[in-house]
Amino acid sequence: MGYLQGEKPITISKLLSMHAESEKITMLTAYDSTMSALLNRCGIDVILIGDSLGNVIQGHSSTTPVTIEQMVYHTSCVARANTASFLIADLPFASYGDPVQALDSAAELMRAGADMVKLEGGGEWQTEIIHYLVKRSVPVCAHLGLLPQSVHLLGGYHVQGKSKDAATVMREQAFACEAAGAQMLVLEAIPSSLGKQITESLSIPTIGIGAGPDCSGQVLVLPDMLGISPGKPPKFVKNFLDGSPSIESAIKTYIRSVKSGKFPSPEHCFAG
């Protein structure tokens, strides 16, 4: 199986090959070396050093307080213990307002050990930045749907792309991100039908988080999937620690469930 990588590091070429062969890609977040080492032992394909650390590590109500300096610190912590997984680090809020700032921020994350950076949004200015970064040898993962960094603009954490017009815009933005050079796309909190449409229309992998079972892979915030985050979990989260004898067992169950297509099930998905 593709997730049994041992000490052989996963590259973007490997992820693109997995997508071409319809093998599901597994991704979880990590913010420190201990969990990075554990995820490597379990065989996770991709580790996301997410700005979700603002919520689950720092205790903020959103990701917007997270700084590039903090992302660099946590990326370096994860990278030190990583032996096989592909590492993606988030560009945090207000760290990529223009192409030059985006390149400076991305360079810091990659020097800290990231293999790819992720940024939110698919508007004209974001695709300009994607193009600028890729032309300068920075691999980019785009992020559409619910954009946590824009939660104040969106008025809360709501499902996106439900109307016909909103779905059309998101499909157009997905095409634009791919055309700009993005090699991967995270889709968050959108109807499963839209996740399927976007996935089937692109040549790059899509990673769903509340975007349905037809995405090329799945990602969850690690404390969420272990059932240890405070508050009510999002609809798209499953507690994999429930019924598992250990955290390691829960992570391995998550990996098997994603690889086999058992997760997400309909109860974790949004209707159009």
Q: With 80 as the cut, is the pLDDT of residue 149 above it?
A: yes
Confidence at 152, pLDDT banded by 50, 70, 90: confident
pLDDT of amino acid 7: 59
Tens-place pLDDT, residues 27-78: 999 999 999 999 999 999 999 999 999 999 999 999 999 999 999 999 999 9
Q: With 60 as the cut, is the pLDDT of residue 201 above it?
A: yes
Tens-place pLDDT, residues 18-27: 999 999 999 9
pLDDT cut 70: percent of the chain above it: 97
* Residue 214 annotated as lining a ligand binding site: no
Contact (CB, 8 A) for 24 and 258: yes
> In one letter, which amino acid is 212?
G
Contact (CB, 8 A) for 202 and 193: no
pLDDT of amino acid 154: 83
* Residue 51 annotated as lining a ligand binding site: yes
Contact (CB, 8 A) for 230 and 149: no
Provide the whole-model pTM. Answer: 0.96
Q: With 90 as the cut, is the pLDDT of residue 10 above it?
A: yes
Rounded CA-CA distance 236/251 in Å is: 16
**pLDDT, mean over the chain:** 96
Pull the structure tokens for residue 162.
């439900």
Give yes or no: 267 in active site: no
Instruction: Tell me which residue of 208, 211, 142, 146 sits closest to 177, measured CA to CA.
Output: 142
Q: With 80 as the cut, is the pLDDT of residue 5 above it?
A: no
Instruction: Tell me which residue of 85, 80, 53 sits closest to 68, measured CA to CA.
Output: 53
Q: How many helices (H) and strands (E) does the chain have?
A: 11, 8
pLDDT of amino acid 4: 47
Tens-place pLDDT, residues 84-139: 999 999 999 999 999 999 999 999 999 999 999 999 999 999 999 999 999 999 99
* Residue 120 annotated as lining a ligand binding site: yes
Q: With 60 as the cut, is the pLDDT of residue 3 above it?
A: no
**DSSP reduced 3-state for 261:** coil
Tens-place pLDDT, residues 155-175: 889 999 999 999 999 999 999
* Residue 216 annotated as lining a ligand binding site: no
Q: With 60 as the cut, is the pLDDT of residue 6 above it?
A: no
The domains of the chain are located at 12-268
* Residue 52 annotated as lining a ligand binding site: yes
How confident is the model over 240-254, as a mean pLDDT? 98
12-268 carries CATH number 3.40.50.20: no
Tell me which of 23, 108, 178, 188 is the catalytic residue: 188
